Structure 1
């Protein structure tokens, strides 16, 4: 079973949205763009227990907290605002098709739309498949002063007077929808509250126990008075006083102390799963385990549930990377992709992002006054799947989560510009550190690749800055750089090594070469003379040869890291200053007032 379409109106931070999905979905976007809201919306429609709460929704579940329209005219009552969420499901399980047969419609696979009633001839197997549309409607009832929310079949042919047929909870359980909220599910996952993972697990295995009745009976049988005989005269005195005002016919003692007055619902909330993690440790409440252990325990429960319903599990999971190691993050993502029919994941972790394909990665964007957009990365950027897979682990994933990308054509430039930025930030406290501003250096491996990746990042709404070597280019070739880069910096040298050799003082290069020799540099391998030349031109030539022969050694980076402010290459410094101009410090300190000493 899969969700292929989601429509949202007036729910939380989303005024309107129409989103289409094709299988698994990794949801990317800035904070408060709507990632969690999408998961919550799916839970309202597909989750069997969300609407059982009272109230099922509240004021701030409506867009901007607006649940009443002002009256059209003075004296009239305000009109309730409708909140609507619609989900379209395909690849239905046989049991869902059977139970919901009267409510089924047909989905045109190629055209990705629901067939109209007059298109019976188009309902050909293979071309059109059964689908099920569900919608949750929420609104405020002024007469009852309550909020209500119910889920209905969009197609309800048997409904009376045009009213839609309501979807019952036992039907929702067939959808297999599970929602793991970041930082929230763990606190109740292993409790026995209704809707907790442990409760779902017991229900799926059709476990029915007399746990609650037996527990309550045992608690009633606990005689705490015999362990506190000093209470006897106090209770007897209370009964004597009570008899003056309340007539009772029960013989003997009329009062008794019980250990608790908990009901079965209270017990569900207070009962806790205990866990022993070490040989020298007694079992403790699971909430006291580390956050990473807790999240892993939750995943174990989720995987257990998925194995019970292998053909019908839809997961929605917020930030599975929280408090777990990178290899565990990868395992979580791998499990979701291979053992669920569909998963919706929000994440800020490159280790999770790299596990999803470009076809399953959606960028969420929202502009004031416009509907929320979820654009598949492939459709938005044109980057081929093979390129995406190749570069996603080499920094593409981290760049996609940032605010800006510096695109360079080699590993030497990548290391050197990173080091240069650090030196500039150390020397000028007014600069906003690029790594904290969300700017990443990305090695495109060649100048020809820069426009392709710049176009990709631009489509994701990320600022792009290019720094590359001089080369004779046609007007058309140069236009590719100019159109795809916010800052297009073609430096005047035919290689970055030449830039370093010509713009870093020879005295600094000479000192650096001596450092390498003192640290045991193999002069034979790198053809460096045992005695450093005194001629500046010879130093420049030697610097170019050395940096070119070992691009991955990080020597350009080390050269700049040890340089003073006036030794740094002016062209690269000028380029980075343009980048800094896009990212000002978040809370700049007000400058001190100037003193006017004029008499």
Structure 2
């Protein structure tokens, strides 16, 4: 059993979405892209306990908070064409007004590879899913369903809406086919959902109540799977009811309560209520479910503490142990898990991924950890992106010709992972630029924040392409994932420049042979001498340049050449003043800020960004692209 397709309308920050999901996969994308929204949508449609919450949805679950149709101020005023805000709901006094339905949250989930139990349970509404085309089989030829690629499937749909008469929000899940085929749609009930076995483990929140008896906790789920009904409620309530707190007069509380009781008797008869005293609980089952929790011994002694006061990593491993119990009990579970890497070392992150994959029929993770992401194949990596109309979609990873799969896997942590997790990417020619340019932008933003901004503040990650010939391929990879891509390199020939420009939004190209030359030729003598005093010079350069301050330019050139990739040029720029940083770098920093900052929000008079910036420092941008 697995969720093969998820469609969403008007849910949270997503106006619309249709996403195909793998059997095992990891959802990645920048923050607020919609990863959690997808998992929450699955929980609304398949989670057996989600609809117990009242109300099941609220104002903030609707796209842009719109859950009603606005009524015009006057019945005589005609609505503007196509403006939903002007449409009125059913029952308006003006029959000339067009009628519009209030916005609804609609979530449709397609579940394929049904088990025998599910086929028997949902047979009346079963359909057929074609795994080769990732679509439902609708051909008029019945024998076609016997093909190996065709499997029985089920569609369910969640609707969430605002009930104006009840002045509250409602939500229900239905068999999708019944919405169009039946006079009265049939609900996909809690018992139906339990057969599907969907379990959503929210980051941090799940572990905080895993070993409590609250409804929907992991312990509660395990007890229900094993058909265990705790029989201790009456006995526990009876025991607690016999316990009175702070009766000893030395505690001081009983005396205060007695004085209150004496005053109470002067105003009301006894049968109204007297004799206030303290108990340790509300003495109800629901309250006991919330306060009863497991204790775990810590350290080498006998002292035990509540499980939720353990370390975050310990709690997460405890959750994993409980998941194994759930999977063993159900045999068929869909796990959705947020951020499995929280407070856990890399080797444990990998173990969680592999163990959960073995336990579940389907696993869906969200993660920002390279150690988690590299455990998933290309087709299992679900990159999400939202367009300017808030339509969410999946972007497949298509490696360009010069990025082979072997290289992608070998260099995933160092060269590819950060780009997959970012919206804006600067692809540089080499590691020197990848270290030095961000350091320069950071320094400039400290010196003059109204004019400059660090790349980190702009949300730009820097990727070393490992050579100018690799820039087009890297740019193509990230551009195909709907990311904004910028490039930086030394002066290129016409043909190579055109190849790079075709794949990047903005090309930052200087006219020097090497970034070190750019810096040393365009900084000041004072900056060179000051840095020369800070360097721990190697013996061979000390011998060659006995007085490094007088030969600072030549000595630093050799020093930088022999220390490529160590961040030496970045250290140099980090100790410069604004005037000492080459004009080309300052101009490039301004261009990046202009490109990444909306015009209305741009500060310090940063020039509007052109498609390319090349040539000598101070030259006009190239307008040929």
Give the TM bin, normalised by the shorter chain.
Answer: 0.7 to 0.9
Whole-angstrom distance in 2 between the partners of 1:153 and 1:129: 18
- Mapping of 1:105-124 within 5 angstroms? 105-116=127-138, 118-124=140-146
Q: Equivalent residue of 1:312, what SS?
A: coil
Whole-angstrom distance in 2 between the partners of 1:452 and 1:237: 84
Q: Which of the residues 284, 289, 312 maps onto 2:332?
A: 312
Q: Which of the residues 535, 538, 557 maps onto 1:521?
A: 538
Q: Is the 8 A contact 1:24 1:344 kept in 2?
A: yes
TM-aligned CA distance change 1:173 to 1:584, over 3 Å: same
Deviation of 1:443 after TM superposition, in Å, equals: 0.8
Tell me whether 1:178 sits opposite 2:199 in the alignment: yes
TM-aligned CA distance change 1:119 to 1:202, over 3 Å: same
* Equivalent residue, structure 2, for 1:102: 124
Scaled by the length of structure 2, the TM-score of the pair is 0.78
Whole-angstrom distance in 1 between the partners of 2:265 and 2:520: 99
Q: Deviations over 1:65-116 (max 9, x none)?
A: 4444432563289855443211111222333233323332211121111112
Q: Is the 8 A contact 1:493 1:499 kept in 2?
A: yes
* Equivalent residue, structure 2, for 1:48: 48
Deviation of 1:378 after TM superposition, in Å, equals: 3.4
Q: Which of the residues 169, 176, 183 maps onto 1:154?
A: 176
Deviation of 1:364 after TM superposition, in Å, equals: 2.7
TM-aligned CA distance change 1:493 to 1:59, over 3 Å: closer
Q: Which of the residues 590, 596, 611 maps onto 1:577?
A: 590
Q: Is the 8 A contact 2:490 2:512 kept in 1?
A: yes
TM-aligned CA distance change 1:81 to 1:566, over 3 Å: closer
TM-aligned CA distance change 1:227 to 1:582, over 3 Å: same
Q: Is the 8 A contact 2:432 2:569 kept in 1?
A: yes
Deviation of 1:132 after TM superposition, in Å, equals: 1.7
Q: Where do 5+ consecutive residues of structure 1 fail to align?
A: 247-252, 592-599
* Equivalent residue, structure 2, for 1:7: 7
* Equivalent residue, structure 2, for 1:36: 36
Whole-angstrom distance in 2 between the partners of 1:223 and 1:407: 70
Scaled by the length of structure 1, the TM-score of the pair is 0.81
TM-aligned CA distance change 1:14 to 1:587, over 3 Å: closer
Tell me whether 1:74 sits opposite 2:89 in the alignment: no
Deviation of 1:296 after TM superposition, in Å, equals: 4.3
- Mapping of 1:384-533 within 5 angstroms? 385-430=405-450, 431-474=452-495, 477-504=496-523, 516=535, 519=536, 521-523=538-540, 529=544, 531=546
* Equivalent residue, structure 1, for 2:382: 362
Deviation of 1:199 after TM superposition, in Å, equals: 0.5
TM-aligned CA distance change 1:33 to 1:410, over 3 Å: closer
Tell me whether 1:89 sits opposite 2:111 in the alignment: yes
Question: How many residues are aligned here?
Answer: 575
- Mapping of 1:369-380 within 5 angstroms? 369=389, 371-378=391-398
Q: Is the 8 A contact 2:522 2:581 kept in 1?
A: yes
Q: Equivalent residue of 2:449, what SS?
A: coil
Deviation of 1:260 after TM superposition, in Å, equals: 4.8
Q: Equivalent residue of 2:384, what SS?
A: strand
Deviation of 1:478 after TM superposition, in Å, equals: 2.7
Whole-angstrom distance in 1 between the partners of 2:571 and 2:280: 71
Q: Is the 8 A contact 1:189 1:198 kept in 2?
A: yes
Whole-angstrom distance in 2 between the partners of 1:83 and 1:439: 34
Whole-angstrom distance in 1 between the partners of 2:130 and 2:65: 37
Deviation of 1:123 after TM superposition, in Å, equals: 0.7
Q: Equivalent residue of 1:48, what SS?
A: coil
Q: Which of the residues 298, 321, 329 maps onto 1:277?
A: 298
Q: Is the 8 A contact 2:334 2:360 kept in 1?
A: yes
Whole-angstrom distance in 2 between the partners of 1:238 and 1:427: 70
Deviation of 1:277 after TM superposition, in Å, equals: 2.6
* Equivalent residue, structure 2, for 1:194: 215
Q: Give me the CA root mean square deviation.
A: 4.2
